[in-house]
Structure 1
Amino acid sequence: MALAIMSSGGDAPGMNPAIKKFVDYTHKKGEESYLIYDGLEGLIDNKIKKASHKIVAGIIHNGGTIIRSSRSKRFFEHEYRQKAFDNLKAHNITGLVVLGGDGSFRAMEKFSSEFDLNFVGIPSTIDNDIYGTEYCLGVDTALNVIRDALDKIRDTATSFNRAFLVEVMGRDCGYLAIVSSMISGAEVCVIPEVPFNPKSLEKRLKKEVKEGRNYILAIVAEGTKKTSEVHSWLQDSFGLETRVSILGHIQRGGNPTVYDRMMAFDFTIIAVDHLLTHTDSSKVVVYQKGDFKLLDIKEVVSNKYMMPQHYLDAINYLD
């Protein structure tokens, strides 16, 4: 039996610790293992190399993924999925670990429904938008990157009569925005899950500005596409010069935190153990209420992640 690991879609801190644990753990179990480079594109193009301890030595502290990643339009055509499967067979690979997010799992659900593929997915996305799991690899590191930026922005915000608007990533999920707002004490949080109603905030904030507040910190999730609207509202409604900071892809980089490294180890061990004991499985490892579980891939891709209600209740304009 040979196992392989690949990254797919956007990179996330924690992928490298997962890759190292995969190689070390499969060797410990006496199994042959492979690394698939460049994600789905690499799977199609047979960029498959035998794994070794030398390749993964010293990578735990690195962000990103040493085996690189990709998104692939070709993979949605059957002939290329056939080619990808033939490449796996040529290397006698019977089990595949995929580090990825929602799009990657949808691709693998299609792949595993057509071919005899034993697959386990590890949720790896800073968006934290995978159904069935409370946590995805990379989230803690991304939040710490955002927290560091917000702390520095607040330092300068308190020195001027200004409003600062920070746009964070997360695609169509407001998880990064809402958690960042809570831990930074932001006055405004705009997320895709809740319609933005500035009138509910204006009365309170105008009263605070009149009483001496000299700055406002607003956090906007990129998926709302409301950065420009919120910027104009802040500047026009409160008479405060408003600066915009778009954090962008720095949120996907950086050394994985201790928590992300430990979660990567646990996710990977469970994935490998399952592949070694099951031969007809298409699963995703999830984290729920302190425990790791395995969900069927169909359940994961056919449902939508929902933000916990107590997080939604915490944002200011729901008060």
Structure 2
Amino acid sequence: MAIAILTSGGDCAGMNPAIKQFVDYCFNKKIEPFLIYDGLEGLIDGNIKKASYDDVAGIMHEGGTKIRSSRSKRFFDLEYRKQAFENLQKHGIDKLIILGGDGSFRALDQFYKDFGIKFIGIPATIDNDIFGTEYCLGVDTALNIIREATDAIRDTSASFKRACVIETMGRDCGYLALVSAITCGAEVCMIPELDYDLEVIGKRLKQELKEGRKYIVCVVAEGCSKNRCTTTNELVRWLEEDVGIETRATILGHIQRGGNPTVYDRLMASEFVTFAIEEILKEDSESSVIVYNKSEFQFVSIDYVNSSKYEIKKELLDLARRLVN
């Protein structure tokens, strides 16, 4: 019996611990583990290698993915999916574990319908925006990187009586910015999910500055484009010209995807993979996605994951409402 693992879409911390657990656990179960390099593109190109202990030695603490990732347009073409299937047949592989987002799961779901290659999807994206799961691999590390950066930026803002605008990732989902603003004690949080009024916020900030506030921390999601504030640079101009405080901007960018995986992401990676392997070995199991809700792991269908758009919990949104008015 042979199982392969691949990583697809955006990378995140926690993928390497998952890959290591996959190889180690497969050997423990007397299963042949294979590594597919370069994601779906590597599946098409036949970049598939039988794994050894040496392939995963010393990668537990590394961010990113040692087997690399990709986004593949070719995989939407049946001709290339057939080529990918033939590559798997050469190695006797009929089961896949994939770490990625809902787009990657949809791709393999079509692959399963075409050729019957069963798979389990593991949600791995720092945006934490996959419907049906409260937690995606890599989120905890990303939040800790943002926290460390925000704490450091606050130090210099306080020293110079400045405002700072910190832009996090989150094109369609403001989860990273929201949680970071709450846990870092920001004065302003702007995310796509919450309406805000710059005039109202400006009045509040000016009053707080009069009453002794020495600096302002504003955390904004990159996908925040409501009202008249569409870019981080516009926020900087607004703070300087309307609120009247010297301001600096920091766009964290891809630093949020890398870095040393936290203990929590390492543990979750190990649990995700272990349960995924156990599930895919069951004769009556179907292709599915493993999710984590209310401290429990569950398996749900691809159709369920794709049935709706992820929404941040109301309780979290309520915690941040005071930062947008």
TM-score, structure 2 normalization = 0.95
Q: Which residue of 1 aligns with 2:21?
A: 21
Distance of 2:20 and 2:301 partners within structure 1: 25
The CA deviation string for residues 210-251 of structure 1, in whole angstroms up to 9 with x for no partner, is 122221110110111432332222122211111110001011
Distance of 1:47 and 1:195 partners within structure 2: 47
| 1:85 Cα deviation from its structure 2 partner | 1.4
Correspondences of 1:79-228 after superposition (within 5 Å): 79-225=79-225, 226=230, 227-228=232-233
| 1:279 Cα deviation from its structure 2 partner | 5.7
| 1:202 Cα deviation from its structure 2 partner | 2.2
Distance of 1:104 and 1:263 partners within structure 2: 20
- Are the equivalent residues in 2 in contact too, given 1:154–1:217 (CA < 8 A)? yes
Look up the SS of the partner of 2:94 in the other structure. Answer: strand
- Are the equivalent residues in 2 in contact too, given 1:105–1:301 (CA < 8 A)? no
- Are the equivalent residues in 2 in contact too, given 1:197–1:317 (CA < 8 A)? no
Look up the SS of the partner of 1:61 in the other structure. Answer: coil
Distance of 1:3 and 1:200 partners within structure 2: 56
1:286 partner letter: V
Look up the SS of the partner of 1:34 in the other structure. Answer: strand
Q: Which residue of 2 aligns with 1:250?
A: 255
Q: Which residue of 1 aligns with 2:237?
A: 232
- Are the equivalent residues in 2 in contact too, given 1:22–1:269 (CA < 8 A)? yes
1:45 partner letter: D
2:30 partner letter: G
Query: Is the aligned partner of 1:296 residue 2:301?
Result: yes
Q: Which residue of 1 aligns with 2:4?
A: 4
Q: Say how many residue pairs are matched.
A: 319
Look up the SS of the partner of 1:41 in the other structure. Answer: helix
279 and 82 in structure 1: CA distance in 2 versus 1, 3 angstrom threshold: farther
- Are the equivalent residues in 1 in contact too, given 2:196–2:324 (CA < 8 A)? no
Distance of 1:118 and 1:295 partners within structure 2: 14
1:298 partner letter: D
Distance of 2:29 and 2:314 partners within structure 1: 42
- Are the equivalent residues in 1 in contact too, given 2:3–2:31 (CA < 8 A)? yes
1:311 partner letter: L
Query: Is the aligned partner of 1:261 residue 2:266?
Result: yes
Distance of 1:255 and 1:196 partners within structure 2: 35
List 4+ stretches of structure 1 deviating above 4 A.
none
- Are the equivalent residues in 2 in contact too, given 1:102–1:129 (CA < 8 A)? no
The CA deviation string for residues 261-310 of structure 1, in whole angstroms up to 9 with x for no partner, is 00000000010001111366210110000000001111112221110001
- Are the equivalent residues in 2 in contact too, given 1:141–1:260 (CA < 8 A)? yes
Question: What do you get for the CA RMSD once the two structures are aligned?
Answer: 1.3
Distance of 2:21 and 2:310 partners within structure 1: 28
| 1:102 Cα deviation from its structure 2 partner | 2.3
Distance of 1:123 and 1:236 partners within structure 2: 43
Distance of 1:171 and 1:115 partners within structure 2: 34
249-258 vs 274-283, greater mean Cα deviation: 274-283
- Are the equivalent residues in 2 in contact too, given 1:200–1:317 (CA < 8 A)? no
45 and 279 in structure 1: CA distance in 2 versus 1, 3 angstrom threshold: farther
2:65 partner letter: T
- Are the equivalent residues in 1 in contact too, given 2:189–2:324 (CA < 8 A)? no
- Are the equivalent residues in 2 in contact too, given 1:118–1:279 (CA < 8 A)? no
> What residue ranges of structure 1 are gaps of 5+ in the alignment?
none
Distance of 2:48 and 2:72 partners within structure 1: 16
Look up the SS of the partner of 1:245 in the other structure. Answer: strand
1:135 partner letter: Y
43-52 vs 191-200, greater mean Cα deviation: 191-200
Q: Which residue of 2 aligns with 1:314?
A: 319
271-280 vs 73-82, greater mean Cα deviation: 271-280
- Are the equivalent residues in 1 in contact too, given 2:201–2:324 (CA < 8 A)? no
| 1:5 Cα deviation from its structure 2 partner | 0.1
TM-score, structure 1 normalization = 0.97
% identical aligned pairs: 59
1:120 partner letter: I
Correspondences of 1:33-48 after superposition (within 5 Å): 33-48=33-48
| 1:60 Cα deviation from its structure 2 partner | 0.4
Look up the SS of the partner of 2:281 in the other structure. Answer: helix
143 and 64 in structure 1: CA distance in 2 versus 1, 3 angstrom threshold: same
Distance of 2:282 and 2:309 partners within structure 1: 29
> What residue ranges of structure 2 are gaps of 5+ in the alignment?
none
Query: Is the aligned partner of 1:283 residue 2:288?
Result: yes
Look up the SS of the partner of 1:224 in the other structure. Answer: coil
Q: Which residue of 2 aligns with 1:50?
A: 50
